[in-house]
Structure 1
Amino acid sequence: MVRNPGLTASFGANWHRAVPGGELDFSADYYYNDGFYYDAANQLEQESYTVLNARVTYSHESSNIDVSLFGSNLEDNKYFIYQFQTDFGVVGKLAQPASYGVSVKWVFDGAE
């Protein structure tokens, strides 16, 4: 069957801690896929892969500002988002490689 892995699994964990002036949150999630075929002829195969993501967020209590550090696909695993056969060959798109970043969020509360 097309795009039907035999097994997938995911696991997520969160940890919350009060710290001076705010809160600290840690979260991580892990995904496993044992592979599948993109076509009915079982020629375009996606081998098994895993994806690990993580985030650390500090929420400043008095300013309503959250600052996060995050990472996606931390193991930098290569896997396809899609593949298909054309008359000219196989076309596919790889998933985003390991990426890291910082985000800042300000929650505006107009009530006084």
Structure 2
Amino acid sequence: MSTFSGYRFMWMMVMFDLPVLTKRQRKRATRFRNDLLDLGFEMAQFSVYMKFCGGRPAADALAARVERQVPSEGHVSILVFTDKQYGRMRVFSGGTRETRQTERGQLVLL
């Protein structure tokens, strides 16, 4: 049996709804998005960012780093799920279902 398990590796999704009515709020929302990019997240949708994590300890550490960046206004949700669950995600673009890439382009050392 392989030591690589779709239940062992984790993904993190950060979803947020931040106020952007004032210049200060827009600047803070932009800074939060840039903070996520600096942490290695990729934008899935405008207010949804995702990142592959090696496992639960790495996901917990990353969640703590994201929490330190959360603005004082608005709503931020952090969701952690297994690679197996990620593989079952259904994604549609323009009404057409996209095929998901199952192989990661990232080397994980155990």
The alignment's TM-score, normalised by the length of structure 2, stands at 0.27
Greater share of residues in strand: 1
The alignment's TM-score, normalised by the length of structure 1, stands at 0.27
Work out which structure has the larger RCO, using CA pairs closer than 8 Å and 6 or more positions apart in sequence: 2
Greater share of residues in helix: 2
